[in-house]
Structures are given as structure tokens and as C-alpha cells.
Amino acid sequence: MILISENAKNKVQIIDNKALLFKTRNPDKYSVIPKHKVVSEDNGTFEVAVYWGLDEVRVLRNLGVKNPPSPITAKYTWPGRHKPFAHQMDTASFLTLNRRAFVFNDPGTGKTFSALWAADYLMKIGQVRRCLILCPLSIMHDAWVSSIGKSVIHRSVVAAHHVQAARRIEMVQGSYEFVVVNYDGLNLIADEVANDGRFDLVIVDEANAYKNPSTKRWKSLNKILKPDTMLWMMTGTPASQSPVDAYGLAKLVNPSGVPKFATAWQDKVMFKLTKFKWAPKPNAQQDVYDALQPAIRYTKEECTDLPPVLTETREIPLTPQQVKYYRMLKERMIMEAAGETITAVNAAAGVSKLLQISAGAAYTDAQEVVEFDCAPRLNVLLEVLEETNRKVIVFAPFRHSIETIHEHLLKHGIGAEVVHGDVSVNKRTDIFKRFQTNPEPRILVIQPQAASHGVTLTAADTVIFFGPVMSVETYLQCIARADRIGQTSTNVTVIHLQGSEIEKKMFAQLEKRVEGHDLLLNLYKEEINS
């Protein structure tokens, strides 16, 4: 039985899931492959059969055979709760064929699963023993540890994030097949990882964090990479700010594609206008493209089988200051509740105060603002914004949070408009219109109540909740600003930023569409009893 692959147009056939058959006028050059055979000849054109193995496919690609399929396409069971979409299979196949490569798929397209399936396949055939995953702290558990539990559940995994250095080292030196580490956590264990010798594959998520080769995190990553270490770097926005940003990434994956020194790369892709101002050269885009190879990219528009709304979670630990006041408020709530009947009104007020502390600012009974350090949450917000070039809506339930976010974005050179209750109707209308029709603003920071029914903001395909709202109706209305008629993207990505237990519970209930006074009352009781 001969099965014709999708590569039939390139005259590559799959025979019984065992061999690849193709035509050539020069069969001798394939003699470097031990498991090959010339099976026929017709007027100077030869048919050559090659064993369908991963190493053989890699050699065929190097010899100029166009798009020979990876064996993963037919020799892998794709384990887990979810079966892969076509673009995920294609991405996984691409990764198995490239020892070092980039994945530039849009956020929300499922590149995490693609990388895990590819890694699992390489483990299955004995080409990878252990895999190190580098990612932001905020997605270590939800995006990676959790995804391993949903896909390659038969593999062992550990998140090497621990206050005790000895415990982190123990995790690295153990037998776990997948070890997940945050960027800066690698700085602490780079020597142990390098000396372990069993990490054949490194996966880097949100790879833009490694665009600067002068940083400590870049040097730590480079330190653990041996010549034969596989490296897959994933980001939705390569060199989004400047062509110069491509240098650090290319230096790790495709060092031959860029000059030895960063200054030479800058001179190659940028004009020096003044002492402190540079501009891209006309050929910069092509130079960046060439440097960031091999690469694969799928946009949301190309992934037509994705669900209309995708939800992600970013975990952000509360700062010590937030933890202190969060506990103080809980103790006060416990004392107030002692011997008293807890009403829905009291519960709502208590839950709101806990959410305020979690988001970075609480309001006293006199409506005075008490600010808390929420730098980790603001930095995670920046990480998310850097992962897309598209327009984004950030919903912040509390007025002071909106101001804090706006100031933080401006501080980092990110333009944004804000809409809250004090912004006039005419000004809101103008902001919404510009957001829909103009390139700027790219970011819109909104108080949920100020973008209620009827407002269309389909220019954005990403919705970020800086913290949870307290109503299912409000939550759904916020998402509906983007997920409505006029949305040109295949799907909308909804991202929850959460740190405290009350935020996690609230978001979980909002996703389940649980509404009513009983919800807040139950959450309040759970919190004071925990």
C-alpha cells in the first residue's frame, strides 16, 4: 500500500509508513544514507527509496529534497486530553526536523502543546533524554506544568522554583524528564544544568526576554548550550521594537546568520541619524527575516479551527507588603464575623477590599487610597503586551489601578489611552473611534463600567483582566467588546492576571458563569475560614 503524503506535489511519497519514495536524476548523492535503495530508472530519472526515519529526513532536507515529512506525522499517537489541530501538528513536525529553530506563532495558537508533543516524540525515539523549559515565572505552572499534565501526562515534570537553593539543585539533578525554570531562576542553577549533561533540549517561551546578549539571563542560557544541544525559541513578536532586537535571538539559534559583534549588526540594519537616534535601513526587514531562521509562523487567521475565545492565566505572587495587609484585613474580617451573621453586603465589601489589595491599591472607608507595591503584576503585564503586536484592551476594576498602569506603560515607552468614569462621554467616543480606526493607541486601559453595552472594540483581539471583576455580566460584557461582529481575528485571547487566593477563586467562578450574592458570600466565608 502506498500512501501519498501532503508533499505529493514535491513528488515525495510515503510507502507503508516505512519509506520515502522520490525521483532524482542524481541518485549517487543519496548514497550517504545507509538505508536507501534505487528501485527503478526511466530515461535518466531514478526512483530512490529511503527509510523513513527522522535522521534520514534531516539528511534529505540538507540534500535538497523539498519538504520530506517528519515521521511524527504518522508514527506518533499525539497523547493527552486534546488532539492537535492541523497547525499544531505542522509546528511539531517542523520542530522535530530542526535542532535549533524559532516558533513565531501568534499567542493563543497552542504552540506550547506543539513543543511538548515534539519533545515527547524525540524522547520516544531516544534523541532527547531531558528537556529544560525556560519561561516567565507567571506561566510556569499554568502554561507549562499544567499543559504537560494535559498532553504528555506520562512524562515526569518539576517546576524548579524554590526558596532553598539546595532544593532547586536537587530538582535539576533528579530524574525528571521536563524541568521548568523561570528566566532569572536559571541564573542560580546554570552551572548545575550545564554540568548535568542530560539536557538535550532547551525550550524558551516568550523568547524576547533574550534579545539582549549583554544581560545576565542571556549569558546564563548561552552557558548551558553545548554545540549539540537542541534549542527551540518561541515568541509571537520577534524584533518588535527594533531590528537590533533580532541579534540576541539569532546569536543563540542561528549565529552564522549575524555578525560576530552586536555593533556590526546594528550598522548592518540601522542608519545613525544623530548621536542617540537610529532608524532602520530599507533592507532591515529582510535581514531580520534571514537572521531569524529556521522559523515557522502561524497567525490566528490561519488557525481557523481554534475556538472563538481562548483563556490564559498568569500567576503573579503578591509582594511582601501586599501579603502583610492582605493578612491584616483577613484577621479583621475574622474578628468582625465572630458571633455575627455575615450579610451579602458585608461579604461584597470584604471581597472587594481583598481584590483591591491584590491589584495594588485599597480604598479606606473615607475613600482615601492606600497604595501597595504591585511591580510584579505590572511587569507581567508588560510581558504580555510584548508578546503581541496587535491591539490590546486592559480592564482594571479599580480607578487607581488604571492610573498606575498608565504611568507604568508611559515609563516604558508604551503609549496608551485610559477610559474611566471621569472621562466625558464625548472624549470616550473619540478614544474608542481612534482605537478602532487608527494605528494608535495600541493599548486601551479601561474601567469595566465605562465600556458597557454597545461599545465595539474589535480592533483588539486580546483582552487582559488586571484583576477580576465582581460580576459575571460585567465579565462577559468586557470580553464582548472585542468578541463580536466585526472581529477579523479568528479568536480572542482573554488573559487573567491573578495572585491572591480570592482572585483565583473569583476568576474560576467567572469562567464557570457563577453569579449572584451567594457567590460573594461563599467566597467571603471560604476566605476567613482558610
pLDDT digits (tens, 9 = 90+) for 62-121: 998 988 999 999 999 999 988 999 999 999 999 999 999 999 998 888 999 999 999 999
- Interior/surface letters 207-229, b for 16+ CB within 10 angstroms, e for the rest: bbbbbebeeebbebbeebbeeee
Say whether pLDDT at 339 is over 80. Answer: no
Distance CA 461, CA 265 (A): 34
Q: CA 177, CA 40: separation in Å to the nearest integer?
A: 45
pLDDT digits (tens, 9 = 90+) for 33-54: 999 999 999 989 999 999 999 9
Nearest to residue 352, comparing CAs of 339, 377, 380, 333?
333
The tally of CA atoms less than 13 A away on the side-chain side of residue 389 is 15
| 276-285, 435-444, 505-514 — most confident range | 435-444
| Domain range list for the chain | 2-69, 86-302, 309-316+373-514, 320-370
Share of the chain above pLDDT 70, in %: 95
> 431: exposed, middle or buried (C-beta count within 10 Å: 0-12, 13-18, 19+)?
middle
User: At which residue does the C-alpha cell 480592564 appear?
Assistant: 395
Q: At what angle do helices 111-124 and 86-97 cross, to 10 degrees?
A: 50
Distance of CA 207 to the CA centre of its chain: 9
Range 474-484 average pLDDT: 85
Least confident of 35-39, 434-438, 461-465, 523-527: 523-527
Q: Are 122 and 130 in contact (CB under 8 A)?
A: no
Give 273-294 pLDDT, tens digit per residue: 887 788 899 999 999 999 999 9
Cell representation of residue 337: 464575623
Main-chain dihedrals φ then ψ at residue 264, nearest 5 degrees = -65, -35
Q: Rounded distance, CA 114 to CA 103, Å?
A: 10
What span, in angstroms and rounded, lies between the C-alpha atoms of 243 and 255?
16
Q: Domain 309-316+373-514 maps to which CATH number in 3.30.1360.20, 3.40.50.300, 1.10.10.10, 1.10.3470.10?
A: 3.40.50.300
Task: Report pLDDT for 515.
Answer: 63
Secondary-structure percent of the chain, ordered helix, strand, coil, rounded to 5 = 45, 20, 35
Please tell me the predicted confidence (pLDDT) of residue 335: 80
- Given this chain, do its domains 2-69 and 86-302 carry the same CATH topology? no
Burial class (CB in 10 A: 0-12, 13-18, 19+), 38: middle
Q: What's the pLDDT score for residue 379?
A: 94
Task: At 246, list the grid cell.
Answer: 533580532
User: Are 12 and 67 contacting, i.e. CB atoms less than 8 angstroms apart?
Assistant: yes
Cell matching residue 467: 484583576
The model's pTM: 0.84
CATH classification for the domain delimited by 86-302, as one of 3.40.50.2300, 3.40.50.1820, 1.10.760.10, 3.40.50.10810: 3.40.50.10810
Handedness of CA 411, 504, 315, 91 (dihedral sign): negative
Alpha-helix runs per DSSP H in 360-424: 375-386, 399-411
3-state secondary structure of 68: coil
Q: What is the pLDDT of residue 519?
A: 74
The domain made up of 2-69 is a member of CATH 3.30.70: yes
Q: For residue 455, what pLDDT band results from cuts at 50, 70 and 90?
A: confident
444 and 460 Cβ atoms separated by less than 8 Å: yes
Average per-residue pLDDT in the chain?
89
Extract the C-alpha cell encoding 313: 492565566
* Averaged pLDDT for residues 298-307: 85
Beta-strand relationship, 278-280 and 270-272:
antiparallel
Sign, CA torsion 460/463/469/471: positive
Question: Is-contact 223 194, C-beta < 8 A?
Answer: yes
